Amino acid sequence: MCGVAGLWDRSADRREDVDARLAAMTAAIRHRGPDGEGAWSDLAAGIGLGHLRLAIQDLSPLGAQPMASTSGRFVLTYNGEIYNVAELRADLAAAGCTFRGTSDTEVFLAGVERWGLRATLAHTAGMFAMGLWDREERSLTLVRDRLGKKPLHVGEAGGTLLFGSELKALMAHPGLARRIDRGALASYLRFGHVPGTAGILHGVRKVAPGTLERHGADGRVTVETYWDLAAVAARGQARPATGDRVVLADAAEAEIDRAVRERLVSDVPVGAFLSGGIDSSLVVALMQRHAPGGARTFSIGFDDPRYDEAPYAARIAAHLGTRHTTLPVTAADALAVIPALPTMFDEPFADSSQIPTHLVARLARGEVTVALSGDGGDEIAGGYRRHAMIAHWWPRLAMVPLPLRRLLAGTLQALPPGAIEALAGLLPGGGRPGNRPEQLRKAASILGQRDARGVYARLVTLWSEAEAIVASPALPSPIDDAAEGAGLTLLGLLRLLDMATYLPDDILTKVDRASMAEALEARCPLLDHRVVEHFWTLPDAALVQGTTGKVILRDILARHVPPALFERPKTGFGIPLGDWLRGPLRAWALDLVEGERADAPEALDWGRLVPAVQAHMDGRADHAHRVWALLMLLAWRRQWGAAWS
């Protein structure tokens, strides 16, 4: 786990600047690799590759990067881990390859020389983002792992190609214009993150998961998909696994167990995040089988009982016998993280669980350098509420003619606030006072959707009026760009949408930035691509039954932990954001909004934004997540000085 950066200046008159520019780029992401720094350049070609090292395997100088292949033809700068490196090394040794050290970087390069890049990727299980320079062909290939665990930004600055693990590496190049892309901005306000391959700045984008980009000396770019999630999903559901629940659970547990075992290979201490939920508890239960001396686990606890999962985690840890550490966190501790967020997340990012994620990463880094997490369980096994809700209710709702549903939706949305509050109180569970009108309006908007994809899009939308707010059409939605889902069940389509969009754009972005800010490597066994491929073969009934999700993960976990310790209503890894915005964050939030409004009155439609902010502050509505998205945008712009365009 490391940080990478590079540039390729094809103009002969500026090549003497390559080393200095590269040094600035790597310095910007030094937090990702505190154990070493390396650079390689070929000034005649105008290419420079940089690397920041977080040493995990082969701590000796033989694991340092950028690394050249044995023949010298290829030079690699690489961020990530290859988990089946022992298998690859054995295969290559049998083919006659010899090795100087034990790093996975050297093994990968040997594979490229022996088998070629595409074949090596097919054999490789891991998480990675890399830049591979071919000295013979004078081409640069950028590669991102299958699920998008590791980030890779790419951009152009005055004819110079730039790439890096984080946007701040690219922004360190003086030729990159910091102008906000308004299409990406509209997409950000809609989803709370910059989605897909988009970039918040003009001229910057992301390499898509599962793809490689070959940049030639003539400027041409060839993009190739080496792992297609939609094809994996369709292929898996076309050939579903058979057997009863025990048989299915046995096979799934074996896949996850292998993934956990492989992720314990390290020359530095390994621990795990433990929230007490199903996913992290399962990872820890299997980890406890294999970790020498037992697993080390980490949790944080809040003084607000609505958000405190520490007691659940402690009970799981006690049952499994892990060496468990819990850090009590006060509101002041959490609030102290907020000023660092615009630097930590160098594109606007509005998932407020970024705060507790960073706090638990900081806690773990005090004892370990690697931490396993349970991320991915909801996506692979149908664990989000929207999965069960849409799969269960949409087929029934869709039987009502669309014009009638839209008439009902319009009627509900036109009701005065008092009537909406009263009617929303009749919702199952009564709704939450103050949030009832918002809940009902969202339900009404769902009624009017044409299909399940539209329902999904509405559920994950923050500012539905985003295009009007920024006076620009949003970029094509990654939800629409995702595969059509031909041949998939309704639940399969929902899982695919989450896995192709929300997972890389939100969850994995959050985990990467929050952990790497502390130089902690986070590994996600449930997102091993072989586990993912296996779960696509499972029938829907093994995943969701009625309104209960992750059925098979529950079955597996029950073999290790009594269900009474983990069966409880699903909660997110959250904070009392709404209360904080009305309380200790109120002055900061209003100052940010009013200051930006005064400085840039034409930049956004403040007439739409300010009333929503004020309604939340006054307690007339719960717009916490929408307001947070706005605040994270404004704080990011203030930090980085990006120009409205």
- Per-residue pLDDT of 240-291, as tens digits, reads 999 999 999 999 999 999 999 999 999 899 999 999 999 999 999 999 999 8
Helices (H), 239-330: 245-262, 278-290, 310-320
Q: pLDDT per residue over 506-528, tens digit each?
A: 999 999 999 999 999 999 999 99
Q: Do 373 and 405 share a domain, yes or no? A: no
Task: Judge residue 116's burial from the number of C-beta atoms within 10 Å of its C-beta, 0-12 exposed, 13-18 middle, 19 or more buried.
Answer: exposed
Number of domains in the chain: 4
Instruction: Assess if residue 634 is contained within a domain.
Output: yes
Please state, in angstroms and rounded to a whole number, the distance separating the CA atoms of residues 51 and 40: 9
Q: Do 310 and 419 share a domain, yes or no? A: no
Model pLDDT, residue 1: 63
Model pLDDT, residue 240: 95
Question: pLDDT confidence of 431, banded at 50, 70, 90?
Answer: very low
Residue 4 β-bridge partners? 51
Q: Do 374 and 396 share a domain, yes or no? A: no
* Domain finish residue from 565, 599, 621: 565
Q: Do 198 and 278 share a domain, yes or no? A: no
Does residue 443 have a pLDDT over 60?
Answer: yes
Instruction: Assess if residue 645 is contained within a domain.
Output: no
Does residue 568 have a pLDDT over 90?
Answer: no
CB-hemisphere CA count at 13 Å for 376?
Answer: 25
Q: What is the mean pLDDT of the chain?
A: 92
Please state, in angstroms and rounded to a whole number, the distance separating the CA atoms of residues 466 and 332: 32
* Domain finish residue from 193, 227, 261: 227
Q: Do 140 and 56 share a domain, yes or no? A: yes
CATH code: domain of residue 291: 3.40.50.620
* Positions marked catalytic: 2
CB 95 within 8 A of CB 52: no
Model pLDDT, residue 429: 44
Average pLDDT, stretch 151-177? Answer: 95
Q: Do 62 and 183 share a domain, yes or no? A: yes
Instruction: Assess if residue 570 is contained within a domain.
Output: no
Q: Do 581 and 534 share a domain, yes or no? A: no
Instruction: Assess if residue 217 is contained within a domain.
Output: yes
Please state, in angstroms and rounded to a whole number, the distance separating the CA atoms of residues 232 and 146: 11
Question: pLDDT confidence of 62, banded at 50, 70, 90?
Answer: confident
Residues spanned by the domain of 223: 2-227
Quick one: tokens of 386?
């929207």
Instruction: Assess if residue 571 is contained within a domain.
Output: no
Model pLDDT, residue 430: 44
Instruction: Assess if residue 521 is contained within a domain.
Output: yes
Model pLDDT, residue 477: 83
Question: pLDDT confidence of 306, banded at 50, 70, 90?
Answer: confident
Please state, in angstroms and rounded to a whole number, the distance separating the CA atoms of residues 546 and 386: 12
Name the percent of the chain lying above pLDDT 90. 78
Residue identified by tokens 């595409």 is: 118
Question: pLDDT confidence of 293, banded at 50, 70, 90?
Answer: confident
Q: Do 438 and 545 share a domain, yes or no? A: no
Higher local confidence (pLDDT), 318 or 434: 318
Average pLDDT, stretch 405-425? Answer: 74
Please state, in angstroms and rounded to a whole number, the distance separating the CA atoms of residues 418 and 306: 28
Q: pLDDT per residue over 361-389, tens digit each?
A: 999 999 999 999 999 999 999 999 999 98
Q: Do 265 and 355 share a domain, yes or no? A: yes
Model pLDDT, residue 381: 97
Q: Which of 557, 536, 535, 521 is nearest to 263 (CA)?
A: 521
Instruction: Assess if residue 215 is contained within a domain.
Output: yes
Whether a cis peptide bond, with omega within 30° of 0, leads into 428 is no
Task: Judge residue 390's burial from the number of C-beta atoms within 10 Å of its C-beta, 0-12 exposed, 13-18 middle, 19 or more buried.
Answer: buried
- Each residue of 527-565: b (16+ CB within 10 Å) or e? bbbebbbbbbbbebebbbeeeebbbbbbbbbbebbeeeb
Q: Do 264 and 165 share a domain, yes or no? A: no
Q: Do 420 and 368 share a domain, yes or no? A: no
Instruction: Assess if residue 260 is contained within a domain.
Output: yes
